A and B are shown apart, each in its own frame.
Chain A
Amino acid sequence: MTTNLKGMLTHIEPPKPNPQAGRRWAFVIEPDRCIDCEACMVACSVENQVPVGHHRNWIAHREKGKFPYLSLHFEPENCHHCSNPPCEMVCPTGATFRREDGLVLINYDDCIGCRYCMMACPYDARYFDEDRGVVDKCTFCVHRLDAGQPPACVETCIGGARHFGDINDPESEVAKLLARHEVYVRYAEAGTGPAIFYIMD
């Protein structure tokens, strides 16, 4: 992790593709292209039957600069499927687990709804599903991935801000984007190793 010239924004060394390591699903996001239309939020809610009042993805608003040189930027966000996920570490039953390909998922049979994972997630990516009594969150649309399709939010994104793929495959779109651009992740200082990379504006 290093600091850029202006000393404010932390950017990271983009991970190099490592074909031996197997798949690592990740997002590369171009905040520049997001117009805050929130179509991805609708697509996700429909695809995953997200209960009313909760969301698995959202658009973070960032004000940059100082008056009068102000600008508003949008960072689409969802669960970062961290490499070192605090939610998984604190889960007392082992219901939250990390799959080989980097997906952080919940085994709903084992979840007792203690919500400790919600305290632990620095991104507030999780919500409590009152009806089922369990915690839930973005799964990177695991059911679609396993069927060979991209996540619903990626397919819907009108501005083309959301890119998704296997960063360990050098030929993938995301690996190429990472190789070409300077990127940052959110809350790098938390040490979570998030798998959503944002391209610097």
Chain B
Amino acid sequence: MEHGHTVFEWGLLVVIYLYTAGISAGMFATSAFATYVGGGRYRRIARLGALLAPWPLALGLGMLVLDLGRPLYFWKLFVTIQPTSPMSIGSWLLSLFMLVAMINLILWLPRPWRNLIKFPHSRADVRDRLRWQPLTARMVRMGRGVVAAIGFPLSLGVAMYTGILLGAIPGRPFWNTPMLAQLFLFSAMSTGVAALLLVAALWGRISDPHELAHERHMLVSMDVVLILMEFFIIIPFFLHQALNTRSSAESLNLVMGGPYTALLWGGVISLGLLLPLLIEGYELYPVALKEGAVKYNRLLGGLSGLLVLIGGFLLRYVFVYAGQLSHFLPVLPR
């Protein structure tokens, strides 16, 4: 906003960047979780998550650099640490996360591919490339555990950062609440799970119906919890904003009667949260009532994933755009 006429300085590229960073963080976290729980029962999900996690973020980082006024100078971010700048801390955090996610990817590559990558196994071997060996099964097992443990908090940090980037700015009342970090965190986790739900439904068959039921049960219940958490944030978000300063209260008009009303209520909340919640509830109710295994059919399973992904994108879209229109209001004498 520049004195009356609206200029969106941050546009679609930033939306995509925040969205993809969230998906990557969510996929990594889900994969790390699946590595640790279930005693190997969820290996397929752990592997899928590990193999896919770095790519959305890689795309998003490309968008971020392209969005800069001087893309060739992006390295200036990495010659300094500005402790009061969420973007500075976030850039370092993202790079570290990317590194960990790439290592995780290598560790989860199918064995024949993994064996193509060789490492020196002792100090003496470093100079002699011929003696380099692929990772042993034991090293891989340990590595996966360590990387999952290090990467899990990093992925939560990345997901929260996408919200803090907007939420830490006092000048934009629509953004300026700590709840934004939580909302983006849970939405990121949910989109990560949803991406895996979608990919798992589209790709690969599991012959053992037992295994399939376990896998669906875990993913779907995770997503249900995450979606519920989003509701627990959206409701107090509205209450707090409405009861806060006049500037905050009026900023809600942007999504209640203003230009982003339909997108938020129709897109984000109905299509992206309520509908997938219904579908997932339908999948889960036999388990909840102890009547049998998860109901699963490919179409519904894939659809709920797709809806959550669309909703997550719209959520970022609404917030990035609406926030830029929100503003302090002058206090006027009467």
Contacts and interface: CB of A to CB of B under 8 A. Distances in A.
- Interface size class on chain A is 35 or more
The winner among B1, B74, B169 for most chain A CB atoms within 10 A is: B169
B80 A93 contact: yes
A94 B327 CA distance: 25
Contacts, number: 119
A92 B89 CA distance: 8
Q: Which of A4, A118, A134 neighbours the largest number of chain B CB atoms within 10 Å of its CB? A: A118
B326 to A, nearest CB: 11
Contacts of A141: none
A9 B332 contact: yes
Interface stretch (A21-29, A105-113, A170-178): A105-113
Contact of A113 (B68, B86, B88): B68
Given A94-B82, A112-B76, A65 B334 contact: yes
Contacts of B88: 92-93
Nearest to A75: B330
A121 interface: yes
B334 A66 contact: yes
B170 A92 contact: no
A120 B169 contact: yes
Contacts of A130: 69
B171 A86 contact: yes
Interface in A79-128: 86, 89-95, 110-116, 118-124, 127-128
B119 interface: no
A180 interface: no
Interface in A135-180: 135
Contacts of A65: 334
B77 A8 contact: no
B216 interface: no
B70 A110 contact: no
Interface string B1-38: 11100000110000000000000000000000000000
Given A93-B88, A114-B69, A118-B9, 20 more contacts: A8-B333, A9-B331, A54-B2, A58-B3, A62-B332, A64-B333, A86-B169, A86-B171, A89-B85, A90-B169, A91-B82, A92-B87, A116-B85, A116-B87, A116-B165, A122-B327, A124-B3, A134-B70, A187-B328, A190-B170
Interface of B: 1-3, 9-10, 67-70, 73-74, 76-77, 80, 82, 84-88, 91, 165-166, 168-172, 245, 323-324, 327-328, 330-334
26 contacts: A6-B333, A8-B333, A8-B334, A58-B3, A62-B332, A64-B334, A86-B171, A89-B85, A90-B86, A90-B169, A91-B82, A92-B77, A92-B80, A92-B82, A110-B76, A112-B69, A113-B69, A114-B67, A114-B68, A118-B9, A119-B166, A121-B171, A122-B170, A124-B1, A124-B2, A190-B170
A-B CB proximity, top 3 nearest: A113-B69, A133-B69, A122-B171
